Structure 1
Amino acid sequence: MRTRRLRLLLALATSAALAAGTTACAGDAGGGATTLEMWTFKQAHVEPLKAAAAKFKEQTGITVNITPYTPDDAFKSKIQSAAQSHALADVFEVHAAGEDFVLGGSGILADLSSNVDAAWRARFVDGVADAGKVSEDRYQRSLKPEAPDAGIEKGQLFSLPFTIGTFGVIYASRSKLQAAGLDPAKPPKTWGEFISWLEATHAEDAATGGLTVGLKSPTTGFNWMLEPLAYAYLGKDAYQALWSEDPGKAWGSPNGKRVLSLYDQLTPYWTPGTQTLAIDDADRSFAQGKSAFVLGGTFTLAAIEQNGMNPSDVVYFGVPPAEGGASSELGLAPLALTGLAVSAQTEKTDAAVRWLDFLTKQQQAGAFAQASLDLPGTDLGADTADLLGPDLAGMQDIFGSAADGAYDPADVSFFSPAYVDTQAGDALIRMSPLNQSDPAKANRELGSIVATSWQS
């Protein structure tokens, strides 16, 4: 889920040969005697990482042991307790553009800036190469008293993009669409068409024909559906103004009410009980046929397969723009979801950096992506379709460039540092699906949340 709200160290030795990943280096014990420990919070990544580790050992003699700690809270607790006892793994897969900065600022992750040269950075998909790098804006925000990533310095690099994706992707069951008389080959192009699809599947089966998402995490509906819907309908400037200090343009204004009225059209079609489901539970529910649609991101495809549903049995599309809005098409800009990081405590820095280098090369990145069904941070270029396979390659059609006006969920530069999106998510849930408020009341609540965040 979105890592911008997830704010949970020492310098590395530099070696050009390591960046190229071609030779064993000092500290590798000649390559063959070295064993690395890697921790991840992604259970679905364990087997693909083990397969990569086997290839890496063949090439270098270096062993990499992969250990998952799930769910996220268990992963964080493990890192924090291990850091205190000086028992950290050598390498981590972390939440990118958020958790990496928190861990970096606290001295748990090493600064990779001296190890990653321009050629290595050029491997990555446009827009995500610097996801783990401390920008001027990130540094300035870290100076705020409430900042969880205090201690970071401008220019430090705490992770490399491993998997990328975006939010705002809707998945539909092919069989349920067909049962409702809908053509899976012609997914909705507008918000009105999407609502009509929901109406049709719900009419066919009210119990299992609706939409679900893990609303137990209250930001999911707000971040994954409402925000891209608002961006397309209002346009970039008016969308960003919803979080401004101007009460005539922020939530609480007529613009806010118009967007909430569109979102409220979902209310009759939520799967019963969806507000009690965690994200994984909602994905599992959809895979088991308990809903016709599930809201998620590009990463949801892997979860669906993991829960026993064939990816070819689903249809997916981005949140469609509403009629009469500023945009008739909505691209979704990619963002780094997970990153590869190195422990500041490790004495095997050279081998750890070689492992990161191996994982982010084209052939290996493609093999991992196809096995995990998660899109890689590495740009696969002309070989994308061959390396990813048909189920995953089509997912990239959802992407657009932020420079060309695509919705960028990573851009929160217009938020107050004190804005709390869980409060906004709770207010939205009270309106839809719970139907305890209406668009006017929800708009007032959101307006109050935004105004208070600026006063703070």
Structure 2
Amino acid sequence: MSTNISRRGLLGLGLGAAATGLLSACGSGTPGETSSQAAAGKAGATTIEFWHRTFTPVENTWYKNIVKKYNAAQSKVNVHDTEVPADAWDQKMKAAQAAGTAPDIYTHSGFIADAVRDEQLHKLNGIVPDEKLKEILPLAKNVSEIDGTYYAYPLLVEAQCVIFWNKDMLKAAGLDPEKGPKTWDELLAMCAKIKPTLKKGQYCIAPAQDADTFAWATVGQQYNFAGHTALTDDWTKPDISNDGYRNLMTSYKKLWDGGYMPKQALATYLTAQDFGQGKVAFKVSGSWMMSEIGSDYKAMLNKTGVGPFPSASSSIDRTATTLGNFKWVVDAKTKKADAAGEFLAWAIAGDTSNVVDFFEVTQYTKVPVRKSVQDAVAATDGAAKAPWSKIVTDEIAPKAIPEPTYSWDISLAVGTAMESVMKGAKSFEDATKTADAAIAKVIKRDGLAGKAPKK
């Protein structure tokens, strides 16, 4: 996931608003500030700075506790933990990097290619044991290594586009409450049956519906409809003026024109508020939304269906989602790389017991990147009570595609075209003409020709 403020980094704001106003008490008052008490009681210990974003309350607690456990478990390294509000992350990190005061280790979202090109990340090879790096499953390698060199260790991956449904609302419309739509044709047919049963203020579905959200949340759908994303294979030209993208954009226009979705979003794509309050029969969001349902809308847990996002009828064999992620990385300029590597290896690459409770408290909505952790999570008592976990882990995540490594500006051009077509502001031809011109400028600006990643 990229660092754009509209993306999953804002989940911490949506679910833990009270927590975002202040830095965690376990960190210093100012991100990057060294605590004079950090190594108290650990004479000779190497103190390292660890920054992580504000996430949901249960995630924040896990981060705080894992640092405490590590500091208590050994005497060589002392980790000074700082929680940074999600909306302040980019500004504070860029300022720290410019000043040469970046933390030794920190959380990182999205792809690592830009950061590696900018020489911001330290190689993990040599500071994290090779056997621990080899445990990273193939589904997460694309966000952790480049040409065999590891620069990041994922804590998790998560599907950015999942469809949730209210079983009671489907049943009231005479539909099977246990089955969600597998194709867009089925989705539209189900909405036609659901719409007459709804009360004022209720809608069939709450999907992505603004340019920023379309830009990142529909990358998998773009691949599903077109068999590729926004650029040609060699990254020399835009590739959205085709029937695949036309069909995707007009599918959203059918939801809009049919009155199946609200004209103004009832809640952000990132949160469960509209779904939890019974205002929509279907909600499209990331797999993380189930965590919010479990914490804030517990009565909905057994009434919520979860499944892969519907496919174009002609491409049911292709995924319709991308994989988001959060990883731990070590700063390239740190003078304490070995200590940072030891902490990382112990906390998220070591004993499975250190991370299993993370997946438990987040309601089994995220996917571990190590087989040993997946097995340990599946063996917990709670996993049997969370049927959506198996769907996300076994049916959705393994087929998902990685987020694109080209510039956000390209994704935003596509998102803007999608919003324009959906709302009828522009025809498909006019919208894609505008997008093509914007994308071509970015290709030239960034010198993308010939820089396409290996298949």
Structure 1 unaligned segments of length 5 or more: list them: 7-26, 136-154
Partner of 2:141: 129
Partner of 1:366: 356
Q: Is the 8 A contact 2:127 2:338 kept in 1?
A: no
Structure 2 unaligned segments of length 5 or more: list them: 8-38, 446-455
What is the CA–CA distance in structure 2 between the aligned matches of 1:32 and 1:171, rounded to whole Å? 52
What is the CA–CA distance in structure 1 between the aligned matches of 2:227 and 2:193, rounded to whole Å? 30
Partner of 2:344: 356
Offset at residue 290 of structure 1 (A): 3.3
Partner of 1:185: 178
Give the one of 165, 171, 175 matched to 2:158. 165
Give the one of 202, 221, 227 matched to 1:208. 202
Partner of 1:17: none
Give the one of 272, 275, 278 matched to 2:263. 272
Q: Is the 8 A contact 1:171 1:317 kept in 2?
A: yes
Q: For 1:341, what is the secondary structure of its paired residue?
A: strand
- Does residue 1:389 correspond to 2:380, yes or no? no
Tell me the alpha carbon deviations over residues 117-157 of structure 1, each in whole angstroms, 9 at most, x when there is no partner: 4311222222313523344xxxxxxxxxxxxxxxxxxx664
Tell me the alpha carbon deviations over residues 177-229 of structure 1, each in whole angstroms, 9 at most, x when there is no partner: 3333332211212221122233333332252223324645x24235434x434
Q: Is the 8 A contact 2:161 2:321 kept in 1?
A: no
Q: 1:64 to 1:314 in 2, by over 3 A?
A: farther
Q: For 2:182, what is the secondary structure of its paired residue?
A: coil
What is the CA–CA distance in structure 2 between the aligned matches of 1:51 and 1:104, rounded to whole Å? 30
Q: How many residues align?
A: 397
Q: 1:328 to 1:103 in 2, by over 3 A?
A: closer
Percent sequence identity is 18
Give the one of 388, 395, 398 matched to 1:398. 395
Give the one of 41, 55, 71 matched to 2:86. 71
Q: 1:165 to 1:305 in 2, by over 3 A?
A: same
Q: 1:199 to 1:126 in 2, by over 3 A?
A: same
| Aligned partner letter, 2:90 | K
- Does residue 1:435 correspond to 2:429, yes or no? no
Give the one of 56, 64, 68 matched to 1:50. 64
Task: State the superposition RMSD in angstroms.
Answer: 3.8
Q: Is the 8 A contact 1:171 1:295 kept in 2?
A: yes
What is the CA–CA distance in structure 1 between the aligned matches of 2:85 and 2:285, rounded to whole Å? 19
Tell me the alpha carbon deviations over residues 381-417 of structure 1, each in whole angstroms, 9 at most, x when there is no partner: 544412472433432133365xxxx4514355xx6x6
Q: For 1:228, what is the secondary structure of its paired residue?
A: helix
What is the CA–CA distance in structure 1 between the aligned matches of 2:175 and 2:378, rounded to whole Å? 28
What is the CA–CA distance in structure 2 between the aligned matches of 1:223 and 1:418, rounded to whole Å? 9
Partner of 1:263: 252
TM-score, length basis structure 1: 0.73
Give the one of 270, 277, 282 matched to 1:288. 277
Q: 1:52 to 1:319 in 2, by over 3 A?
A: same
| Aligned partner letter, 1:208 | Q
Q: Is the 8 A contact 2:224 2:311 kept in 1?
A: yes
What is the CA–CA distance in structure 1 between the aligned matches of 2:166 and 2:409, rounded to whole Å? 36
Q: Is the 8 A contact 1:134 1:157 kept in 2?
A: yes
Q: For 2:401, what is the secondary structure of its paired residue?
A: coil
Offset at residue 425 of structure 1 (A): 0.8
Q: 1:386 to 1:426 in 2, by over 3 A?
A: same
What is the CA–CA distance in structure 2 between the aligned matches of 1:329 and 1:436, rounded to whole Å? 32
Greater Cα offset, 441-450 or 114-123: 441-450
What is the CA–CA distance in structure 2 between the aligned matches of 1:367 and 1:332, rounded to whole Å? 29
Q: Is the 8 A contact 1:96 1:159 kept in 2?
A: no
Q: Is the 8 A contact 1:162 1:339 kept in 2?
A: yes
Q: Is the 8 A contact 2:220 2:321 kept in 1?
A: no
Q: For 2:354, what is the secondary structure of its paired residue?
A: helix
What is the CA–CA distance in structure 1 between the aligned matches of 2:416 and 2:99, rounded to whole Å? 38
| Aligned partner letter, 2:245 | G
Q: 1:87 to 1:235 in 2, by over 3 A?
A: closer
What is the CA–CA distance in structure 1 between the aligned matches of 2:273 and 2:203, rounded to whole Å? 15
